[in-house]
Amino acid sequence: DARVTQTPRHKVTEMGQEVTMRCQPILGHNTVFWYRQTMMQGLELLAYFRNRAPLDDSGMPKDRFSAEMPDATLATLKIQPSEPRDSAVYFCASGSGQQGADTQYFGPGTRLTVL
Amino acid sequence: AQSVTQPDIHITVSEGASLELRCNYSYGATPYLFWYVQSPGQGLQLLLKYFSGDTLVQGIKGFEAEFKRSQSSFNLRKPSVHWSDAAEYFCAVAPGGGNKLTFGTGTQLKVEL
């Protein structure tokens, strides 16, 4: 049963520290999405990639957030420096790249707490 | 820009009762529409999706949804709810041909035994 995996599942850190979240998309999927979920804002798309190239990162604060795909099996989301307002659950999702009707398969999320 | 409204934040139903969760969207053309379910501590799972054709869409776990263009709605239904259906349900919209999903705020479903 192919699944999106995310590590770590939980992360507690102090303000100012660097945080790196990792995602392994489903093998063969060529689109990867990063979402953030908070009580106040709900689910927000931060960035997405197709064939490892960033297509849209307009939802991501540029000054502290960065997203990359070093290879087809790994996507990373980095926050440097982290702030308490970054506390949220971060989800990665992958898809086969089919236009429009593409199903996005979500990972279990990384719950980030910034103290 | 597209938007999605889920007017019900919480809904409680008895096990075995029917269920309807409301979703209204705002988009200039025919959107692609999705319903996802999120169990506590889990990621989102796709229940069903609509992008063209028959306006009544069947999904997993006995769910269905009906696209009504005139009402800009895509309501989710289930004839008989099971206790395991308790979760949060999200409606989402993507512009036709695109992959960017905009999610609604979610409806939390509680099932009373």
B45 touches chain A (CB under 8 A): yes
**Contact (CB<8Å) B104/A42:** yes
Each residue's pLDDT, cut to its tens digit, for chain A (115 residues) gives: 789 999 999 999 999 999 999 999 999 998 999 999 998 889 999 999 999 999 888 889 889 999 999 999 999 999 999 999 999 999 999 998 766 557 899 999 999 999 9
Q: How many Å apart are CA B94 and CA B79, to the nearest integer?
A: 27
Distance CA B56, CA B100 (A): 23
For residue B61, give how far its alpha carbon lies from the nearest alpha carbon of chain A (Å).
17
Contacts of B32 in chain A (CB under 8 A): 100-101
Residue in A4, A41, A55, A99 to test binding to B, most B beta-carbons within 10 Å: A99
